[in-house]
Structures are given as C-alpha cells and as structure tokens.
Amino acid sequence: MKILITGAQGQLGTELQRQLRRGGSALGPMPERLKNASVIATDLGELDITNRLETIAFVRRHQPDTIISCAAFTNVDGCEEQPEAAFKVNAVGAANLAQAAEKIGARLIHVSTDYVFSGAANGGRPLDESERPAPISVYGKTKALGEEYVRDFCRRYFIVRTAWLYGAAGKNFVKTMVAAGKKFGKLEVVNDQLGNPTNAEDLAHHLLKLAVSHDYGVYHCTGEGVCSWYDFAAEIIRLAGVDAQVTPCSSEEYAAKHPAAACRPAWSALENRMLACTVGNGMRPWREALADYFAHRQPEE
C-alpha cells in the first residue's frame, strides 16, 4: 500500500510518519495492511497543493492508494489577517487534492476542524456528525468550504474533524502554555469556550484505521470529555510542573485586550459517533492522553 501525506512536517504529519515507522501507537498496533506501506511525505517544498495542475501531476506520478491531507493554514488569527492565503490553502488546496484523488481512484482523508461550527449552545450535548456547519471565522469558513469541495470532487473521502490538537512536533497550545508559564509565572485563559483537547498520537492512530476502511463519510475524532481552555491550561501547567498561576477570564475580557483576535466558538465539543459505529472509537479521555504526552515528551519540548 502507498500513502501520500501532505503537510508532513506538521505535528499530525510527523506523528503519522512515526507510527508508520514503528508499526503502531500507545493505543495499539496499526492495521496489518499498513505494515509494509510505502510513504510519500510531502510539504510545501515538494508539493504546492494550491496549484491544481501541479497537484494532479504529482498524484498521478506517485499513484498513492490513500492521501492523508494534513496541510492547512491553521493560524486562526492569521487567517483573519490573510484571508486570501487561508482560502487558497484550506479551500482551493482541498479541492485540488480531491480532484487528484478522484482521477486515480485513491481514498482521501481530509483533516478538518471543530471551528466549522458556530459555537451555539447545544443543550450541553457534544456535536455529532449530523450537525450543520455554521462557521464564524475566516479559518472556519475556509475549512468548511474545503469540506464541501472534498464532497463535490471525490467519492472515496473521509472528512475527519478534530479539535485543540497538540503533539510532539510543531507549535500548539500545550507548548505555548508551558513556555508562557515559565516566562511570566502567570497566565490568563478563557473559561467560557469549551471543546475537546486531542493528542495527535490518538488522532493519527484512528486516521490509519480509516486508511484501510471503506466506511467513507464525515467523522469526528477528538479526545473524550469536555473542558474549557482554562481547564486545559491549568492541567498543562500542573503536569508540566511549572510554577505558574492560571486564572480564568471571559471571552469578552480577552477580546477587549486582544481586539484583533478572531472569533472562536463558545461550544465546539464533538462526539465521535461515526468512529464508534465503524472502525471503533478508541480515543482516550483528554486528561489521560495529556498525561501520557507529558510522560513521554522529550526534554526540549
């Protein structure tokens, strides 16, 4: 089997390659069919997914069985400042990969986000795959459009929405909180935006299960359990052993201090219903997965 990974240098792309090399993750072995898989790891230097002809030619040349699309413009505030760039990567790039996959009959696993939802209250219930997207930021809007293009242009697709992702590679909220806690000794974090922290190891494990599946469609894949950004930050600081105080604030208070910040959904907790109905939902409770991350992280992290 041959797998093409875009955005291979990011935290999820890096984790996928690690599991394919090692044969599995902390959650268990990867599917047997992937044990001798050939991996084509690409990033911007090798493939510009915003160029349709280049993308189609690249995919035709390599003939992957499965494409896992991790490439995205994920800087939420940066998307507000650079909407054209966000549109090209998150929407046009998704369309190009979908068309390329369809031309050779490959599966496409497209990684999306909880930010495709508005954040409206859902009676305290996590959102399953039947909920209709209604994004409120440029990031969310361009990712939602990317999902539409994947549906339009590719028959063998998995759209996998995740949230609050962190891992050993790249930048993420966990590393930001640890660094800021060490530097300033105090943190102020919003406590009225709720969602699901997700360990990249858990997400990658489930993406590889989908890579050999025929259960196409839309999936949610996040850590189990709901918390606020404040809860998440407080647990990060505790597990990191950093001497820092974490205090809660409201989104309104945060916006007053950071007027250029993008709007973020107040409620974007997801339910992994489709996983449970198909390949199995083995996503760990978010506190357990976070503790495991700290137990195995390298000193420089």
Q: What number is the average pLDDT over the span 47-51?
A: 96
Task: Note if 149 is an active site residue.
Answer: no
CATH code, domain carrying 44: 3.40.50.720
* Nearest of 51, 55, 34 to residue 102 by alpha carbon: 55
pTM of the model: 0.95
Residue 276 counted as domain residue: yes
Q: Is residue 254 part of a domain?
A: no
**Count of structural domains, the chain:** 1
| 129 in any annotated domain | yes
Q: How many CB atoms lie within 10 A of CB 128?
A: 15
Residue 160 forms part of a structural domain: yes
CB of 199 closer than 8 Å to CB of 167? yes
The pLDDT of residue 298 is 65
Mean pLDDT of the chain: 95
226-272 residue pLDDT tens: 999 999 999 999 999 999 999 999 999 999 988 888 889 999 999 99
23 within a domain of the structure (yes/no): yes
Element spanning 206, H or E: helix 200-210
Q: Tell me how far apart the alpha carbons of residues 92 and 71 are, in angstroms, rounded to a whole number.
A: 12
Question: Would you say residue 183 lies in a domain?
Answer: no
Model confidence at 301: pLDDT above 60:
no
Boundaries of domain holding 103: 2-172+197-224+269-284
Question: What's the confidence (pLDDT) of residue 299?
Answer: 53
Do the domain assignments include residue 74?
yes
Q: How far apart are CA 297 and CA 149, in angstroms?
A: 37
Residue among 115, 139, 149, 254 flagged as catalytic: 139
245 in any annotated domain: no
CA distance 69 to 96: 11
Angle at the Cα of 70 (from 175 to 58), degrees rounded to 5?
140
Distance CA 136, CA 12 (A): 25
